[in-house]
């Protein structure tokens, strides 16, 4: 595999890791600060085994890191730039929605004015 292909494969691994709603929810929460697995379990609403598998995928991709403290494991966002990217994606979709509302409003106004 060429160096460019290896780099693209690593990037693709990150996007695959982010490609599940539960993992995105956890990453967004971890962007606000570290959390223990129990907090992430409550957030996602899945069993601990499922949450652990999701965290393993994120950790393998380099998105999160973990630290054991006694009997608890705490996770934090290792790839801090992911928060900015997810915010960008959110703003994009907010803008798309706003544009659709504006278009709908314009169409409604035109329909209300005969001869326009």
- For the segment 33-61, what is each residue's pLDDT rounded down to a tens digit? 999 999 999 999 999 999 999 999 999 99
Residues of the chain above pLDDT 90, percent: 85
pLDDT of residue 106: 87
Looking at the structure, tell me whether residues 62 and 97 fall in a common domain.
Answer: no
Looking at the structure, tell me whether residues 75 and 107 fall in a common domain.
Answer: no
Looking at the structure, tell me whether residues 13 and 47 fall in a common domain.
Answer: yes
Residues 6+ away with beta carbon under 8 Å from 32: none
Looking at the structure, tell me whether residues 13 and 69 fall in a common domain.
Answer: yes
Looking at the structure, tell me whether residues 110 and 67 fall in a common domain.
Answer: no
Report whether pLDDT(1) > 80: no
Mean pLDDT of 92-105: 92
The two structure tokens encoding residue 93: 């979709």
DSSP string over 30-98? HTTS-EEHHHHHHHHTS-HHHHHHHHHHHHHTTSEEEEEETTEEEEEES-THHHHHHHHHHHHHHHHHH
Looking at the structure, tell me whether residues 64 and 111 fall in a common domain.
Answer: no
Report whether pLDDT(116) > 80: no
Its pTM surpasses 0.85? no
pLDDT of residue 114: 57
**Residue 116 is part of which domain span?**
80-116
Looking at the structure, tell me whether residues 23 and 66 fall in a common domain.
Answer: yes
Looking at the structure, tell me whether residues 85 and 103 fall in a common domain.
Answer: yes
Looking at the structure, tell me whether residues 11 and 32 fall in a common domain.
Answer: yes
Looking at the structure, tell me whether residues 46 and 30 fall in a common domain.
Answer: yes
Mean pLDDT of 62-80: 96
Looking at the structure, tell me whether residues 49 and 102 fall in a common domain.
Answer: no
How confident is residue 4, by pLDDT bands cut at 50, 70 and 90?
A: confident
Report whether pLDDT(98) > 80: yes
Domain tally for the chain? 2
Looking at the structure, tell me whether residues 72 and 85 fall in a common domain.
Answer: no
Q: Exposed, middle or buried by CB within 10 Å (0-12, 13-18, 19+), for 101? A: exposed
Q: What is the mean pLDDT of the chain?
A: 92
């Amino acid at each position: 595999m060429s160096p460019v292909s290896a780099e693209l494969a690593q990037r693709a691994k990150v996007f695959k890791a982010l490609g599940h709603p539960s993992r995105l929810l956890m990453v967004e929460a971890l962007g606000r600060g570290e959390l223990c697995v129990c907090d992430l379990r409550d957030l996602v609403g899945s069993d601990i085994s499922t949450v652990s598998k999701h965290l393993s995928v994120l950790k393998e991709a380099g998105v999160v890191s973990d630290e054991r403290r006694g009997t608890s494991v705490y996770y934090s966002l290792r790839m801090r730039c992911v928060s900015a990217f997810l915010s960008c994606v959110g703003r994009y979709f907010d803008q798309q929605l706003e544009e659709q509302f504006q278009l709908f409003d314009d169409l409604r106004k035109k329909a209300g004015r005969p001869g326009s």
